[in-house]
Amino acid sequence: MAIPEPKSPPGDRIAKVLARAGIASRRGAEAMIAEGRIAVNGTVIDSPALNVTPADRITADGKPVEAPEPPRLWLYHKPTGLVTTEKDELGRPTVFAALPEDMPRVVSVGRLDLNSEGLLLLTNDGGIKRKLELPSTGWLRKYRVRLKGTPTDETFEPLRKGLTVDDVKYQPMTITFDRQQGANAWITVALREGKNREIRRAMEALGLVVNRLIRVSYGPFRLGDLKPGAVEEVRARVLADQLGLEPREAQTKPKRRLPRRPTRGKTGPKGP
């Protein structure tokens, strides 16, 4: 007779629950546990190898940990001039400081550099962030790119085949030549990676300069007519369908939110 495998204890790992509640990342939560800052049902714990359920009372630094919100995802039209980080050592304006006042604590899915604009996904859930960023999931990102110069369709063949720049290998890109507009050319680029400044560096390898870059989609999520600085939540059922999550209760049509304040552009690194 086969011996039944032991069942996993009910609930979720404590670090996952703390991350979902916005206390810290999973790694940060594990560090807090090691420092003796987390208690469950009045007992300080010293190991993250613990499952908890909603019935358990959790405190962090002596303060009760509220039940985490259900997973949520927002579309944000990032303007130029914002860095995708909580704080910037150079004092430049950030995406998170520009968000509407009523937004909950969120993290970004990937990044767009200071001079790039367009669709940036924001979520309150670390699991969604990891799922959307994992190279193995291969979410297709599409960009509208304006280049200085007069390239032809054949100019982009090396990028369609994949190339290596400064020992960094870039996977093949799908590139469509759209039109020439005076001294600039417009193209559409689709890729499944998200390496740092990938499109800009790949174009530089061809002797081309990107002077505008707009992300128009990330997987099934599209920028559409969302205005710069505006935020729109993805419907719960759409999120559940696209990411294989348990659907939340039906909600009303998500509202578009205006940014907290107007922003102006500067120059800087990071992003495709």
Helix (H) or strand (E) holding 195: none
d(CA 149, CA 181): 10
Tokens read off for 11: 């609930």
Nearest in space to 266 (alpha carbons), one of 12, 83, 74, 68: 83
Helix axes 126-133, 236-243, angle to 10 degrees: 50
102 is an active site residue: no
DSSP line for 138-177: ---EEEEEEEES---GGGGHHHHH-EEETTEEE---EEEE
Where are the alpha helices (H) located in 60-120, listed in sequence order? Answer: 95-98
Evaluate whether 72 touches 237 at the Cβ level (below 8 Å): no
Catalytic residue among 46, 56, 113, 241: 113
**Torsion angles phi and psi, residue 214, rounded to 5:** -125, 120
Tokens read off for 156: 């982009």
> What burial letters (b/e) apply to 167-204, b meaning 16+ CB within 10 Å?
eeebeebebebeeeeeeebebebebeebbebbbbbbbe
Active site residues: 113
